[in-house]
Structure 1
Amino acid sequence: MNSNKKSYFSVYTTAAISIFITISLVMFPEHAFEAAVNGLNIWWNVVFPALLPFFVCAEILMGLGVVHFMGVLLEPLMRPVFNVPGEGSFVMAMGLASGFPIGSILTTRLREQNMCTKLEGERLMSFTNTADPLFMFGAVAVGMFGNPVLGGTIAIAHYLSSLSTGLIMRFHGHNQEKTVPYKNSGKLFYRAVIQLYTARKKDGRPLGQLMGDAILKSMNTLLLVGGFIILFSVLIKIMEVLGVLSVLSTALFKILAPIGIHSDLIPSLINGFFEVTLGCQEAGSASAAVPLIQKTMAAGFIIAWSGLSVHAQVASIISKTDMSIRPFFFARFIHGILAALYTFLLMKPAQTVLQGISVPVFLHTQPQGTLSFWLERLIFMSSQVFLFLLILLSISMVIYLYTNMVIIFLRLNKKKY
């Protein structure tokens, strides 16, 4: 009976909300249209050029077996540290460089190809959902805060909190699934080459078909992402017009006031709860009475939380698999809290250090939908992917060589005695 009541409540509540939203769109068509155009601009100028090349490349690299090759080489790092397969390193590097929701999209692809288990996929997408550097440096620090130096603080805190979230989420589901230890069986590069050949033969698609499928899947995914961005832009605008956001702001202020959060920051947190860009804009434009450190902490939390818009995108993307959205939702909250905490700890030292460090001019520009900007962005983000992969590979090789030395040392001692 209880399950039936819950089912009835869910069905009728969803229907009522849908009817209410439809009536609101009819009552406020101008506001809805304006919000839809703003959402479309964000998708076209920022999301589409940032993600399309990497979606296509990721699909092609999976079909060619390159991801399998990297998985073997990076297993010594990813398995002991994050409790995910080595292929997760590719998802991690792409997520760090390209921004959300590419981490969840690539994790879904790994799960569809049985390259990770359900729990491993949930762990992986929980800490690979990160913002891209250009968004934090250009859009937030320069465009919304008018302070380029803040970009470094926000980015460092964001990535440190992401890695910390990965270390926490490695324990997710440890009671449901035996932890797979990393076993050093030697001949790492040889096994990686064999894995690449095996994966390519198993896929079997000609290169032309592989490229066509990659472009088709990427476009469909980006249209899905764009639809969610536009939808949530409209919903937030409607809630603002109806006064729902002001009611939520009042309620949230009563909760956060005891810990010293300035009242002018509450609207940014409410907006950021739904959509990351709107939340950061509100934080950056908050009154001068709000301390800069509180504004920056709020932006750090909002970027890490990433908004219900991204959550809905991820839920839709992973719906074709058996992975659950609940660990992702929990991880976003942990990521947000840690990002705000790291921002508080790093604010003064990072500002002092970064004042004297030159930052690429490209990171001092706001996102814009021009061909030259798209090209510069592609070059910059591609270099970041390779840099992240090179760092991960270097760490993995150190761990592998150290493990080999320990094994040799133990064998020599065993022979001696």
Structure 2
Amino acid sequence: MKKSIGPMAAVLCLILLLLNPATAAAGAARGLALWGQAVVPVLLPFMLCTGAVVGFQATDLLVRPAAPLFKRLLGLSKEGSFVMLCGLLCGYPMGAKLDGEFLKDRRISAQEARYLLAICNHPSPMFLLGYTAGQLADAGAPDFGPALLAALYLPVLFLAVRAGKRYRHFEVQLSAAQLDPTVRSEQPSFSFDAHMMSSFETMVRIGGYIMLFSIAAAYLEKLGLPSAISAVLIAFLEITTGIRSLCSTFPSNSCLVLTAAACAFGGLSGIFQTKSVLKNPELSIRDYIQWKCLHSALSALMMAFFVYL
């Protein structure tokens, strides 16, 4: 069954492109504009800087002030705290990318990496307070920036409890480099040029997925579905375009709840971006999707509490 779905989907996509190339071109242009104007300027500098911090073995220096808090609240090691901090500040899919890289380099254990994957990949505060809050203000909900942050980030504590029980053998431990100094010496010396090229490759991959799902959203808009259904489906595909559709379709209270759910889930585009940067068979994208669904539901419930109570 799976073997037949792939070829059929590819043929269907080609037929759609041939029948309506203008829609594909408009969707691709919108996706690439989003990538070039919003994603690259925000994410690429963070990606370059965090890679340099890791390469120059400066993670301890950066995370030292926050490590005790992350250890007390989430039970993370210093390396895990760095992954969590970057995931919160940089946005999708930076947390998952660092999680996979730290596991590959044996900086964190497999159990801590799985635990982190459940809690470290989120939209950044800049995205929430900038683009998302702006769209909500246009929909008539101008003062819900703090509530949006709370609805997105407070459920992480509940997720941490659930993930901690699931990965119950996880415990804070020294990294392999700390346990065995030869591990660090065996790692190749850091090359900023190589890291920069790797970051460019990752950004192009992310841009490709944003473009593809923007094309899918453009075709979805052409189907003539009821506006409410279309907006929800677009948000399910790609959150940036989806948030705009939600805010232009639903009344402000409903828009707030649906936007919180969409931001927490990240859309199919975010899931594919995350899968593309994990590159580690020990980390399951299926588990990640389950955690994102739970996070989405919790964020919607919390935002509904803020709005209606």
Q: TM range, normalised to the smaller chain?
A: 0.7 to 0.9
Q: 1:63 aligns with which of 51, 55, 69?
A: 55
Q: How far 1:148 sits from its partner (Å)?
A: 3.6
Counterpart residue identity of residue 172, structure 1: R
Q: 1:276 aligns with which of 225, 239, 244?
A: 239
Q: 2:167 aligns with which of 170, 173, 194?
A: 173
TM score, norm. by length of structure 2 = 0.88
- Whether the 8 Å contact between 1:140 and 1:280 is mirrored in structure 2 is yes
CA distance 1:203–1:297, change in 2 (3 Å): same
Matches of 1:71 and 1:198 in 2, distance apart?
23
Q: How far 1:136 sits from its partner (Å)?
A: 1.5
Q: In the alignment, what sits opposite 1:333?
A: 293
Q: How far 1:268 sits from its partner (Å)?
A: 2.6
**2:48 counterpart of 1:85:** no
**2:154 counterpart of 1:154:** no
User: Match of 2:203, SS?
Assistant: helix
Q: 1:309 aligns with which of 269, 280, 286?
A: 269
> Between Structure 1 and Structure 2, whose CA radius of gyration is higher?
1
Q: In the alignment, what sits opposite 1:42?
A: 34
1:83-129 Cα shifts (integer Å, max 9, x gaps)? 54331211111121111111111111111101223332222122111
CA distance 1:23–1:265, change in 2 (3 Å): closer
Matched ranges for 1:255-294 at <5 A:
265-287=228-250, 290=251, 292-294=252-254
Q: 1:145 aligns with which of 123, 128, 137?
A: 137
Counterpart residue identity of residue 19, structure 2: M
Q: In the alignment, what sits opposite 1:3?
A: none
CA distance 1:276–1:143, change in 2 (3 Å): same
Q: How far 1:76 sits from its partner (Å)?
A: 5.4
User: Match of 1:129, SS?
Assistant: coil
Matches of 1:274 and 1:140 in 2, distance apart?
16
Counterpart residue identity of residue 343, structure 1: M
- Whether the 8 Å contact between 1:126 and 1:332 is mirrored in structure 2 is yes
Counterpart residue identity of residue 220, structure 1: E
Matches of 2:307 and 2:228 in 1, distance apart?
18
Q: 2:196 aligns with which of 211, 215, 221?
A: 215
Counterpart residue identity of residue 281, structure 1: R
Q: In the alignment, what sits opposite 1:13?
A: 5
CA distance 1:145–1:271, change in 2 (3 Å): farther
- Structure 1 stretch displaced more, 305-314 or 117-126: 117-126
User: Match of 2:157, SS?
Assistant: helix
- Whether the 8 Å contact between 1:107 and 1:121 is mirrored in structure 2 is yes
Matches of 2:36 and 2:100 in 1, distance apart?
24
**Alignment gaps of 5+ in structure 1:** 1-8, 184-190, 250-263, 350-417
- Whether the 8 Å contact between 1:25 and 1:238 is mirrored in structure 2 is no
- Whether the 8 Å contact between 2:235 and 2:246 is mirrored in structure 1 is no
CA distance 1:280–1:345, change in 2 (3 Å): same
**2:209 counterpart of 1:228:** yes
Q: How far 1:29 sits from its partner (Å)?
A: 0.3
**2:207 counterpart of 1:238:** no
User: Match of 1:92, SS?
Assistant: helix
Q: In the alignment, what sits opposite 1:114?
A: 106
Q: 1:33 aligns with which of 20, 25, 28?
A: 25
Q: How far 1:210 sits from its partner (Å)?
A: 2.0
- Whether the 8 Å contact between 2:103 and 2:110 is mirrored in structure 1 is yes
Identity %, equivalent residues: 25
Counterpart residue identity of residue 131, structure 1: P
Matches of 1:240 and 1:282 in 2, distance apart?
10
Q: In the alignment, what sits opposite 1:100?
A: 92
**Alignment gaps of 5+ in structure 2:** none
Q: In the alignment, what sits opposite 1:393?
A: none
CA distance 1:230–1:241, change in 2 (3 Å): same
TM score, norm. by length of structure 1 = 0.67
Matches of 2:287 and 2:113 in 1, distance apart?
10
Matches of 1:143 and 1:83 in 2, distance apart?
36
Q: How far 1:266 sits from its partner (Å)?
A: 3.6
Matches of 1:308 and 1:111 in 2, distance apart?
24
Matches of 1:116 and 1:340 in 2, distance apart?
32
Counterpart residue identity of residue 20, structure 1: L
Give the length in aligned residue pairs: 306
CA distance 1:104–1:70, change in 2 (3 Å): same
Counterpart residue identity of residue 247, structure 2: G
- Structure 1 stretch displaced more, 156-165 or 217-226: 156-165
Q: How far 1:320 sits from its partner (Å)?
A: 4.0
